[in-house]
Amino acid sequence: MLVGERMTKRPVTTHPDTPIDDALKLMRESKVRRLPVLDKEGKLVGIITEKDLLYVSPSPATSLSVHELHYLISKIKVQDVMCKDVITATEYTPLEEAARVMADNKIGSLPVMRDDKLVGIITETNLFCIFLELLGAREKGVRLTMLVPEQKGMLATITGEIAEMGGNVISLGTFVGEDPTNRLITVKVSEVGQDELVSAMEALGMEMVDVREI
């Protein structure tokens, strides 16, 4: 799956000379937490987040009244606090690569570019929704988490047994195990009872880590 398939298209944007109060108001009205910043030619020149705006303060000063403080803050523009070194993605970036870049750089979004044009944004919220899909979180079934030997054909063995029982695999995910000899596998199955499913998997030598019907 690629970024272009799950990005937010036509993202809400702002301009470098926008007062930060206006940018924060735009975020809240649009229910977003970050705004790509475009110049007059539509070129991406930065990105600003809600956190950037909420932590803005003028240089330390003494004897400032609330009115004076608010006046100083109102003079601050987006260009004064935005991040100018923007990490971006393209529509053809694999989703897992986008997620890795976001995690490694501790950022919550990537503007999506087509050549020099902003065409979307992929955010942590987009990735959370994909995670829900991958694990079948919105569908009912028996969810097993098992410690499985790191051997060729194990997934085929598991899914084949489930199919033989008449079960339907809603989701299946593999994760790093306790050591290189095994993996954690989470599989969610419908149309098979919990006890029957657990018995079948244990008969194949799988170690149950967690079992629940959700």
pLDDT for 129-173, tens place per residue?
999 998 899 999 999 999 999 999 999 999 999 999 999 999 999
* This prediction's pTM: 0.82
For 127, residues 6+ apart whose C-beta sits below 8 A from its C-beta are 95, 98, 99, 102
**DSSP H or E stretch at residue 141:** none
Question: Is the same domain home to 68 and 169?
Answer: no
Same domain? For 122 and 41 the reply is yes
What integer pLDDT is reported at residue 55 of this predicted model? 81
CATH number of the CATH domain containing 209: 3.30.70.260
Residues 147, 153, 156: CA angle, nearest 5 degrees: 85
Residues of the chain with pLDDT under 50: none
**DSSP letters spanning 109-120:** EEEEEETTEEEE
Contact predicate 112/76, CB 8 Å: no
pLDDT for the residue numbered 188: 97
Q: What pLDDT is recorded for position 56?
A: 75
Q: What is the model's pLDDT at position 68?
A: 64
The whole-number pLDDT of residue 84 equals 95
Q: Tell me, what's the pLDDT at 63?
A: 61
Phi–psi pair at 155, nearest 5 degrees: -65, -40
In a shared domain, residues 161 and 114: no
Last residue within a domain, chosen from 65, 96, 131:
131
Q: Is residue 142 located within the same domain as residue 205?
A: yes
Q: Are residues 103 and 191 in the same domain?
A: no
Could you list the residue range(s) of the whole structural domain that residue 193 is in?
A: 137-213
How many domains are there within the chain?
Answer: 2
